[in-house]
Amino acid sequence: MAENPKIRTPIVCVMGHVDHGKTSLLDRIRGSSVVNAEVGAITQHIGATIVPIEAIRNMSGTMGKAPINIPGLLFIDTPGHHAFTTLRARGGALADMAILVVDINQGFQPQTIEALQILRNCRTPFVIAATKMDRIHGWRVNENEPFLSTISRQNERVKGEIENKTYEIVGKLSELDFSADRFDRVADFQHNLAIVPVSAHTGEGIPDLLLVMIGLAQRYMSEALKLSVEGPGAGTVLEVKEERGLGTTLDVILYDGTLSLGDEVAVATQGDVIVTKVRSLLKPRPMKEILIEDRFERVKSVAAASGIKVSAPNLEGVIAGSPIFVIRGNRDEIEEKIKKEMTEIHVNLAEEGIVIKADTIGALEALCKELEGKEIGVMRAEVGPVSRLDLIETETIKNPQHRVLLSFNTTILPDAQEILKNPLYNLVKVFEGRVIYQLIDQYVEWREEQRRLQEKQRFEHVIMPAKIRLLPDCVFRQSNPAVVGVRVLGGKLRSDVNLIHVDGKKVGHLKTMQLRQEAIREADAGLEVAISIEGATIGRQVNVGDDLYVDIPERHVKVLEREMVKTLNTSTREVLEEFTTMRRKTDPFWGK
């Protein structure tokens, strides 16, 4: 079949665990180094790169002049797997195929399994790229070689290691009901997953990966790809950018139809839909990523699938992650469609929770999904900068641990900054960040610290168990108040507590304590201290040699037994047990 420029370019989504090398793999394919520019080397926004078929032919070498009817591949690098679900929800089946990146040395991680579930639910054909094979001890590098060529030059131990690690992945996939094998052993790609061992660092195995992707598209998707290139364009806004000489522009992935100069397009802004006319279309050069491309070529028209920069009037308020549609006589219908999609942002709001603001819908949804996974409720989630009103509304949240605003990759407006600059302002805690999981980690750490402080304050008011013995020859005053020397037999003795006999009879109130004539607030087991007891007379209510307990109120016993028992030392636990046993002789359910 002859190469046919009219057929749609397949969209390939690259998925996988956060640091298994997705962006590095794409960098190798397109010969750039986006990964170094990414915050924390983790992709936070979706980039799009077109790799033309000629470049794939050159890289693969083995394709020769085999007839190919697709113009190339459009790769989307996603932040984890979230953008895949986000974009898919917006664009029907935005990704035609996927590469699931798995570190051959680390194997499956929670996000890998989640990505597999998404791929299965969406019935998306995919290939496993088993990355970082050059990290295997003793690996001999053969730059850019196909896998079978490079593996044949390795020693037996390295070959065995690759075999074992590949079969660990096969086994794990089998547990998840996927039939898989190394790509060169797969006869039927429609029913078996292909695993391609690769190295983004050395380029080894990359020719095989591209070959398998082209084969999949060619064999199983030609009909589907033919269908969608002629109609009005439909796409997703990746990013809204200010460009010198152009004003505000949109980076768009066009996943369906055609977009041309002069076309009327409908796109979403905060709370509304605008219609504007395309002034210019700029296409990144092949093999360049749309998010970092600095030299674009002007084109009159573009067909799906493409990454394209759109310049038009009034794009200032457009929301990244929103749909964009070409209008061909169906304006009301399209406006309605966009409004519906914008109200269906995939965020599960809770009655109780924190507030989040992000720069794009995809980021907002990704942030919500991660928070949900950590069982952190989100009460409000919005796209846009942080304003004074956001702070005022967050202040009204009752739970101080939820009085928090997470700001992902979005600006804090001057009126809100003014409030936050005030050193006395502590009503809302704001966390800013450009890496989703780090932002969440900051909040979780702060929340745990708040809980510890809260618990500490609460436990400080709990009356602790203690047992004391009145010492002979240490009566300094008999009454008003009685002052006497005691030994702490067990537990933690604090001032300002009531004392009782071992039979439960009241003695009086321990007001103050002294150690070597200095006032102290608490004394541990083994210490001898002087105490003052209000309401007691030595020789009447209490005698030298008597053992006394601190009288613990019933509600405090409940806290001690249910929440604090693990934090108590052995001596304190023993005294608590003696005290509750004594109390429960007359009432078995006391303090329970």
26-40, 146-160, 304-318 — which one is most confidently predicted on average?
146-160
pLDDT band at 588 (very low <50, low <70, confident <90, very high): confident
What's the confidence (pLDDT) of residue 136?
93
pLDDT band at 518 (very low <50, low <70, confident <90, very high): very high
- Segment among 45-54, 261-270, 443-452, 528-537 with least mean pLDDT: 45-54
Q: Contact 577/467 with Cβ under 8 angstroms?
A: no
pLDDT of 554 higher than 80: yes
pLDDT of 84 higher than 90: no
Place of tokens 């796409």: 235
CATH class of 234-343: mainly beta
What's the confidence (pLDDT) of residue 89?
39
> What pLDDT, in 10s, does the model give residues 445-494?
999 998 888 777 777 788 999 999 999 989 999 999 999 999 999 999 99
What's the confidence (pLDDT) of residue 223?
67
pLDDT of 18 higher than 70: no
CATH number for the segment(s) 354-459:
3.40.50.10050
Place of tokens 């939820």: 402
Comma-separated ranges of CATH 2.40.30.10 domains in the chain: 234-343, 466-584
- Segment among 168-172, 274-278, 421-425 with least mean pLDDT: 421-425
pLDDT higher at 465 or 336? 465
What's the confidence (pLDDT) of residue 236?
83
Give CA torsion, residues 424, 426, 429, 430, to 10 deg.
Answer: -30
What's the confidence (pLDDT) of residue 547?
95
How far apart, in whole angstroms, are the C-alpha atoms of residue 335 and residue 248? Answer: 21
What's the confidence (pLDDT) of residue 309?
87
pLDDT higher at 436 or 269? 269
What's the confidence (pLDDT) of residue 37?
38
What backbone torsions phi and psi does residue 291 show, to the nearest 5 degrees? -75, -20
Q: Which of 240, 271, 237, 235 is nearest to 409 (CA)?
A: 240
Number of C-beta neighbours around residue 292 at 10 A: 14
Region 145-160: mean pLDDT is 94
pLDDT of 313 higher than 90: yes
pLDDT higher at 377 or 227? 377
**466-584, what's its fold?**
Elongation Factor Tu (Ef-tu); domain 3 (2.40.30)
pLDDT of 142 higher than 90: yes
pLDDT band at 33 (very low <50, low <70, confident <90, very high): very low
Comma-separated ranges of CATH 3.40.50.300 domains in the chain: 11-225
Q: What is the homologous superfamily of the domain 11-225 according to CATH?
A: P-loop containing nucleotide triphosphate hydrolases (3.40.50.300)
> What pLDDT, in 10s, does the model give residues 418-444?
999 988 888 999 999 877 778 888 999
Q: Which of 25, 52, 90 is nearest to 238 (CA)?
A: 90
What's the confidence (pLDDT) of residue 419?
92
pLDDT higher at 356 or 44? 356
Number of C-beta neighbours around residue 212 at 10 A: 22
What's the confidence (pLDDT) of residue 291?
54
How far apart, in whole angstroms, are the C-alpha atoms of residue 95 and residue 339? Answer: 23
Distances (CA, A) of 242 to 39, 232, 266, 414, 522: 20, 26, 19, 20, 64
Q: What is the pTM of this model?
A: 0.56
